[in-house]
Each structure stands twice: as C-alpha cells, then as structure tokens.
Chains A and B, each alone.
Chain A
Amino acid sequence: MEKGSKELKVSAIKNGTVLDHIPADQLFKVITILGLKDCPNQITFGMNLDSKRLGKKAIIKVADRLFEEKEINKIALVAPDAKINVIKDFEVVEKKVLRVPEQIVGIVKCANPKCITNHQPITTKFETEFEDGVLKLHCHYCEKNTSSENIKIITEN
C-alpha cells in the first residue's frame, strides 16, 4: 500500500479499513451500499485521484471499523476491482478480495419497469450470474436480468 515515502492525498489511518481502487464515479454508490452516511466513525474520502489503472479513482478510509465479508462483498456490484485493506498501527495486516455474493437482497433496483418490486413496497432479491465474464442480476420476482451497466442503487429505504 502507500509507502511512507509516497505523499498521501488522503491522510493515513491508524486502525480501520481502507477501500482503494474504487472507480471515481462509483464512490457515492459505495458509500450508499455500506451505509456510511449513518456511520459514527471518522471517515475520509478521496475522489478523482490519479490512478494508473483506473484513470480516476476514489478511496475511502474508515477508522476503527472492520467490515464483515458479507457486508463488504456487496460493493463488488459497483466496484469489482476495489482493494480492501485492513489497517492496524498504520500497517496493512490483511488484504481482502471481493467476491460477488450469490444473492443480493435489497440495495439494487430491478431494471424492469413492469417488475412488481417497482410498484409495491417489496425488498428486491437477485441471484448473481456471470455470462461471458459480465455480471448479471437475475430478479427473483420478474425473472428478468439487470445487467451491470444498468445497476441502480436504492438510496432510500
């Protein structure tokens, strides 16, 4: 991760979780998915940082918080290549690899306008599928697929 010699655009945290290599335009979706709006911890964000791989990337540092695998895997929907680093005493002690969960409950809106979940107060539910490496969400209700470029995050509950 960030070496001592490298200048940090977002200041280091002593303990907690760093979510790096988030595509810049997905930052706010990640914030929504993880519910950081209501998180009392100290959180620092960086957006539109230069990245060799992504062009522009975003980074989130949440102090004194570890995320459960189940929780963190949800962001694979919008930032599949994000790097999750667990920090202890300013050192990376664990790197987590994101895995798209088999089932997504809530979070995402079904792209089918005729799906019942878009008309009644129903929690959405999808099975994730990969077709030629492309992520698709198969709606448990209307049985239609929402492709990854059509993923809309539900912001209000």
Chain B
Amino acid sequence: MPKSLISIHDFTKEEMLHVLSIAQEFEKNKVQPILRDKVIATLFFEPSTRTRLSFETASNRLGARVIGFSDAGNTSVSKGETLKDTIKMVSNYVDLIVMRHPLEGAARYASEVASVPVINAGDGANQHPSQTMLDLYTINQTQGRLTDIKINMVGDLKYGRTVHSLLQAMSHFEPDFTFTAPDELMMPQEYKDFLNAKGIPYRETRELEGNINDCDILYMTRVQQERFTDPMEYEKVKNTYNLTASMLAGAKENMKILHPLPRVTEIAQDVDDTPHAYYFKQAENGVYVRMAIIAYLLGYK
C-alpha cells in the first residue's frame, strides 16, 4: 500500500518536520514543476471551495494536471456506485488522489482500496490533516519555533476537527493550552484525557476577554452550522464570541490570530488591519504545505 495521509497520526514527528521544511522551500521558490508528467485527482464528494482550490493550486504549481469533481451530485455516485468502485476506477487513471467525503472514515477506506497515495481533505467531523500541517507551518513561521507555545483555542471545540487534530499534532512540542468555549461546545473529554496522559497543561474558560494577553497564538474557529442536528442549539451558541480590534490592545507583540476560515462573526473586520491578523497568510501557506505533502507522498522530496 503506498503511503497516504489520512489522519495526522499517520505522520511521525520527524515526517511532520520534514514536510514543513519542504514547504519552506516551496514558499521561497514557488515554481518547481517537478510533477510535470503526473495527474492528480481531486474528488470532492462534499463541496469545499477553499480546500479544493488550495489543493488544485498546489498541484498546478508542481506542474501536475488535475482531474476531478467538486460535487458528487453529477457523478456515478448519484447512480449508487460504491465508494470502492469509484476509488478503484480513479486510482487506475491518476498518480495521487485528494478526496473529501461527508462520511467519517471514508478516506481511510479509500486509501485501502486505492493503488495510489490518498490525501484526506476532510472526512466529516473526523480528520483534515493538511489543515493541521498548515497550522503547524504557520505557528512555526510566526513564532520561529514550535516548542513551548501558548495556544488559546476559541469557539467550537466540541465539533471542530481542526482544533482536535492541531491539539494532537502540537502534543509533540510541549504546548500550553487554553480552551475557550461555551458550555455546549467544550473540548471533549477524550482529548483532555489525551493531554492528561501526556502531562500537557490546559485550562478551560468561557471568557475570551481576559485570556488574550498571555497567549502566543489565538486560534479562532467558526461554529459550524452543518455539524448541529438541533437548530435551536446552534442559534444559542453561534454568536458567543466576537473578537474586535479593541480587545487586542494588551496582546503580546508576537501574538498572531489564526483561523481555518471561512469566518463569520467571530472575528470583526477591523481585526484584519491589526498586526495580529494572520489568517489570510495562513490560508496562503496552505498551498506550500499541500505542495510539500503531495511531493513527499509521491517520493519527490
């Protein structure tokens, strides 16, 4: 079975650092068409404009051709084709598959039936490892290191897969966490157990103000409507946090605000003009990190 990236656990600490250093190379020198003779499939069984465009840009920058679909609605999937058959067929056409699927575990299964590497671009609420890698890359870029970073995670810590994966990835680097969430969206116990087992400190709070000044990274997340089964519960929590520029007056100079995007109301527009805003650069970094992941999995770096 070729090496795939399905879950952040699939990479060792050394592999993470290796991919991050390749990404640095790509950021310095964006034009490296080392995959000129390759074809990459982007199979999006669930729409996601940002992630798909980022992967397709990364593929194009590497010189590869891209095929795929952005919505399963007009494919044979709507005729009842199994995921196995779709993946078997596509893996005969291409050199690497990038896929997003609404069901959890779909990417792991695809990697077991595919004859080419698979990159998980999100499987339901489970994993989205390229997002985690670009978060690590951005933390390293803004702080000059990955070890001993104070991170305040804010918003939907219950359903937000990016915070769960980031927490697991950062556990290699002696972090210090603050979890800021309303009662309904607190960090699940299994992740707190994980931190306890590793001896990593964390504290939990409902208040955003008062927890901004001592962190290096303020990791904001959107409350994702699509993860809620009960619309009443969503209405109750959707506008809990609203970060504005005036709240940043006492923040550390090196403090950067990250957000997996898209944002809604959790970061006000006036924050964009502060030196702490880093989420657009973070999204740009996604292209370099995805170039690095693709090149690494195909054995080019």
Chain A interface (Cβ < 8 Å from any Cβ of B):
110, 112, 114-117, 119-122, 131, 139-145
- Cβ–Cβ < 8 Å partners of A117 in chain B: 105, 109
Given contacts A143-B7, A143-B126, contact A114 B104 (CB under 8 A): yes
B82 touches A145 (CB 8 A): no
Report the Cα distance A101→B127, complex, angstroms: 27
B108 touches A114 (CB 8 A): no
Interface centre among A110, A116, A120 (most CB of B within 10 A): A116
Residue B261 CB within 8 A of the other chain: no
Report the Cα distance A120→B105, complex, angstroms: 11
Residue B134 CB within 8 A of the other chain: no
B contact residues, total (Cβ < 8 Å): 19
B104 touches A143 (CB 8 A): yes
Q: How far is the CB of B274 from chain A (nearest CB, A)?
A: 37
- Cβ–Cβ < 8 Å partners of A116 in chain B: 83, 101, 103-106, 108-109, 123
Chain B interface (Cβ < 8 Å from any Cβ of A):
7, 82-84, 101-106, 108-109, 123-127, 190, 193
B108 touches A112 (CB 8 A): no
Given contacts A143-B7, A143-B126, A145-B190, contact A115 B82 (CB under 8 A): no
B105 touches A121 (CB 8 A): no
Question: Can you give 26 A-B contacts (C-beta < 8 A)?
Answer: A112-B104, A114-B103, A114-B104, A116-B83, A116-B103, A116-B104, A116-B105, A116-B109, A117-B105, A119-B103, A120-B82, A120-B83, A120-B84, A121-B84, A122-B84, A140-B105, A141-B106, A141-B109, A142-B104, A142-B105, A142-B124, A142-B126, A143-B105, A143-B126, A144-B104, A145-B190
B7 touches A115 (CB 8 A): no
Residue ID in chain A nearest B106 by CB atoms: A116
Report the Cα distance A143→B127, complex, angstroms: 9
A114 touches B127 (CB 8 A): no
- Cβ–Cβ < 8 Å partners of A143 in chain B: 7, 104-105, 126-127
Q: How far is the CB of B83 from chain A (nearest CB, A)?
A: 5
- Cβ–Cβ < 8 Å partners of A120 in chain B: 82-84, 109
Report the Cα distance A115→B103, complex, angstroms: 6
Report the Cα distance A120→B109, complex, angstroms: 10
Residue ID in chain B nearest A140 by CB atoms: B108
Shortest 6 CB-CB distances between A and B: which pairs?
A: A141-B105, A142-B104, A142-B105, A116-B105, A116-B103, A116-B106
- Cβ–Cβ < 8 Å partners of B103 in chain A: 114-116, 119, 142
Q: How far is the CB of B141 from chain A (nearest CB, A)?
A: 28
Report the Cα distance A121→B7, complex, angstroms: 22
Q: How far is the CB of B154 from chain A (nearest CB, A)?
A: 24
Report the Cα distance A120→B87, complex, angstroms: 13
